[in-house]
Structure 1
Amino acid sequence: MKTKLLFNGKKLLCVSLTGLALAACETVQTTQGGAVGVNRQQRMAISAEAIEQASTKEYAQVMAAAQKKGLLNQNPAYVNRVRTVASRLIQQVPAFRPDATKWDWEVNVLTSSEVNAWCMPGGKMAVYTGLIEKLRLTDDELAAVMGHEISHALREHARERASEQAVAGLGISIVSAVAGLGDIGQKGMEYAYMGLLGLPNSRSHETEADRIGVELAARAGYDPRAAVTLWQKMGQVNSGEPPKFMSTHPPRAERLSDLTAYSQRVMPLYEKARAKR
């Protein structure tokens, strides 16, 4: 009986402390739903200001290192093309969050064979030359990539992931310490967290960015169906993919199906934007 009471007491302490960590989270809706209907609420335990300050510092360091190595904005044609597409997309961000028009947006091109592009919190972007050259991107496909990356920033996915990890890390430490699981037990709980919550949430972030991205592209006058051809090209470059339960991205077939459906949904926005140009 004594042992049982002691265990129950530890369990109650664990639940109480974890509950305090969860209570510190703020429930927010970072963006409006748009035509694609992204309306999931998010729980944040870290401030937007903290994430943006860290991102701005990191971006400056990455750009400075690229400049020193002669890898920053070396191809004027690429730079002009990327910034033109980005400008048109950024003009459409008020459809999801009007405050993003006040962000200190910055777009640069890095010389690298890597097939990559990203947008940090607050609108700091980079596109790699390998992405443009290896995939032979059209402007519509470039808009699909950049719209996707901008969408991650609009939805504050980096802040959400950091918040999840902060809360999960606290909870795991408390449980393993109280239950006496040791290093092996704690590592097992960390793997369980990633498999059951961490990776699936990352996949949901990718799907949200896909859907918002096609709408941004359509509103900017870029063919949203190019998102489908983009990922078909990506499949040719990256022939293998990990099993769904081990991946932070949706399976390729699932992703293409979703992109096809949502690009069709925003076609009226694309036709309207084209008529104005």
Structure 2
Amino acid sequence: MGAAALPAAWAQGVGDDVGKNSAFTKLVPASQVEQAAVQQYAQMLREAQSKNALGSDNHPQVLRLRSIARRLIPYSYEWNPRARDWRWEVNLIGSKQINAFCMPAGKIAFYTGILDQLKLTDDEVAMVMGHEIAHALREHARERMGKSAATNIGVNVISSVLGFGQIGQTLTQYGAQLLTLEFSREDESEADLVGMELAARAGFDPRAGVTLWQKMTAASKGAPPQFLSTHPSGATRIADIERKLPKVMPLYEAARKNG
């Protein structure tokens, strides 16, 4: 069975538009996925530092990103209780790639390309960051690994005979691919919605999702940026965001009033 539904109070936003976690997530221990992410993230930071491409702690953009993250993170806990225990990190990597990500265990990175080329406002950064955090909260990477394990080994064999022995091998195989996992259309749409709510609750204007995807589409020039999945299209995402704005605008307005 999937995870329990979100608390009733959370349905004030997009909670009732988001289903239960996939049963495939249960095939891979969350702790192992998070451990693999921590190791992969640390390796990535070491490589960036060796190339003088890691933003310093006092870099203006690093300070900006971490400030936005501090506002978003408290609203993540209702979506995934494990997030309370994550050692969240936010870093900036010098690269022309228009990309950002949040790995399991709250390991966030932005590339300078997405900030410099798209000239993102704080609200737009919050939408990107919220989207990426949502992937981690909804355990989309864990789900993809579970599906791979089921395909390679067989669900019945895993559950009745092998336990998690061969799952560990699968994690070793896919842990190094956490940055390149391709999420489904449903995953992307869900991350858009959850990310929009996180941003709104933190006091960032969710309407920035529209301008963000307009910028993403304009930057693609026929070849989508790495951050921009080929499905759903930018136009579809914008339409979905506009359709859900009535649900999250009250959260944003309340946050602004109370802030």
Same fold at TM > 0.5: yes
Asked if 1:113 corresponds to 2:96, the answer is yes
Aligned-residue offset at 1:27: 3.3
Q: Name the Cα RMSD after superposition.
A: 2.3
Aligned-residue offset at 1:251: 1.9
- The amino acid of 2:189's aligned partner reads T
Cα distance between partner residues in 1 of 2:147 and 2:76: 26
Counterpart residue number, 1:61: 43
- The amino acid of 1:79's aligned partner reads V
Aligned-residue offset at 1:240: 2.1
Superposed CA deviations along residues 187-227 of structure 1, whole A, max 9, x for unmatched, are xxxxxxxxxxx98x711000110000000000000000101
Asked if 1:155 corresponds to 2:138, the answer is yes
| 8 Å Cα contact 2:80/2:138 also seen in 1 | no
- The amino acid of 2:132's aligned partner reads E
Cα distance between partner residues in 2 of 1:248 and 1:238: 11
- The amino acid of 1:109's aligned partner reads L
SS in 2 for 1:113: coil
Cα distance between partner residues in 1 of 2:5 and 2:219: 33
Counterpart residue number, 1:194: none
| 8 Å Cα contact 1:31/1:97 also seen in 2 | no
Aligned-residue offset at 1:261: 1.3
Select 1:40's aligned residue among 16, 20, 27. 20
Counterpart residue number, 1:140: 123
Aligned-residue offset at 1:100: 1.2
Aligned-residue offset at 1:273: 0.2
Counterpart residue number, 1:168: 151
Over alpha carbons, which structure has the higher Rg? 1
Cα–Cα, structure 1 residues 108 and 31, in superposed 2: closer, same or farther, change >3 Å?
A: farther
| 8 Å Cα contact 1:31/1:155 also seen in 2 | no
Superposed CA deviations along residues 136-173 of structure 1, whole A, max 9, x for unmatched, are 000000000000000000000000011112212335xx
| 8 Å Cα contact 2:95/2:111 also seen in 1 | yes
- The amino acid of 1:264's aligned partner reads P
| 8 Å Cα contact 1:225/1:264 also seen in 2 | no
Cα distance between partner residues in 1 of 2:86 and 2:100: 19
Cα distance between partner residues in 2 of 1:29 and 1:239: 42
Work out the number of aligned pairs and report it. 223
Aligned-residue offset at 1:95: 3.3
Counterpart residue number, 2:3: 28
* TM-score between both structures, scaled by the size of structure 1: 0.75
* TM-score between both structures, scaled by the size of structure 2: 0.80
Cα–Cα, structure 1 residues 90 and 30, in superposed 2: closer, same or farther, change >3 Å?
A: farther
Aligned-residue offset at 1:241: 5.8
- The amino acid of 2:22's aligned partner reads Q
Cα distance between partner residues in 1 of 2:32 and 2:63: 31
Superposed CA deviations along residues 25-51 of structure 1, whole A, max 9, x for unmatched, are x63348656420212341121111111
Select 1:217's aligned residue among 199, 206, 210. 199
